[in-house]
Amino acid sequence: MEGLAPVIGVTATLKEDTERVAERPLGRFVRADADYVEGVVEAGGVPVVLAPVAGPGAAETLVSGLDGLLLSGGSDLEPSHYGEEALPELGVTLPERDEFEIALARGALRRGIPIFGICRGMQLLNVVLGGTLYQDIPSQLGRGVLGHRQRTPKWQPAHEVEVLPGSLLGGIVGRGVVKVNSYHHQAVKELAPGLVVGARSPDGVIEAIESREPGERWVLGIQWHAEAMRAAGPEHRALFEAHVSAARRYAGRRAAA
């Protein structure tokens, strides 16, 4: 087992194809943005795309074969998972994806598998561990907040985040301020027990969360899409490298056991 690249599960979403052939839609597609997959490959991992159509019952089988889990971005999380009713501003939700990824995350947490959450993935991590979300930043936080949904290309930064000293994130990116992109309208509200804040934007919105004890449980969530900014700076590539390194250590412990 020693020397083998760690296997990283990358969650996918479901998309409806609007193109029609012979007056019938082509149907649904499982989609994982190539940037996530390529980020894992560049960092030395072997990506495996996890289709949400497998259902929560398959999560236990799937997660048992992983060395790391990458929770990708995408649709809003159904607010019933954190005890709230849906607000009018809530976006599209995919219940089957929610259930599948919650089961995956719980299975990975039980096993101590390193988890890296990006955008929605960070929000899902917080909910799975007992936290809550702002369903819509503009309507719930009001004036004074940044525009967290940029209209410029994903590889361009929208604002800065302040990385907290002594954080796991700070040790990875190696700096106190990072320029990031921003494509979200939801955010962490109540932080889950066992997690700490790793970074905030200038308006106070939580931009990164991580395990309180990273030596015991490697869990990191970021609100920005680092997978799309890998060419913009080494700090974004370093996030994938740190996750794959943690997964390699996990694989080594599993092999030794």
**Which residues participate in catalysis according to the annotation?**
119, 225, 227
Helix 56-63, helix 95-111: angle, nearest 10 = 30
3-class SS of residue 8: strand
Q: Exposed, middle or buried, 34 (CB in 10 Å: 0-12/13-18/19+)?
A: exposed
Give me the torsion for CA of 1, 214, 219, 216, rounded to 10°: 60
Phi, psi of 121 (to 5 degrees): -60, -40
- Within a 13 Å sphere around the CA of 8, how many CA atoms are in the beta-carbon half? 31
Q: SS3 breakdown of the chain: % helix, strand, coil, rounded to 5?
A: 35, 25, 40
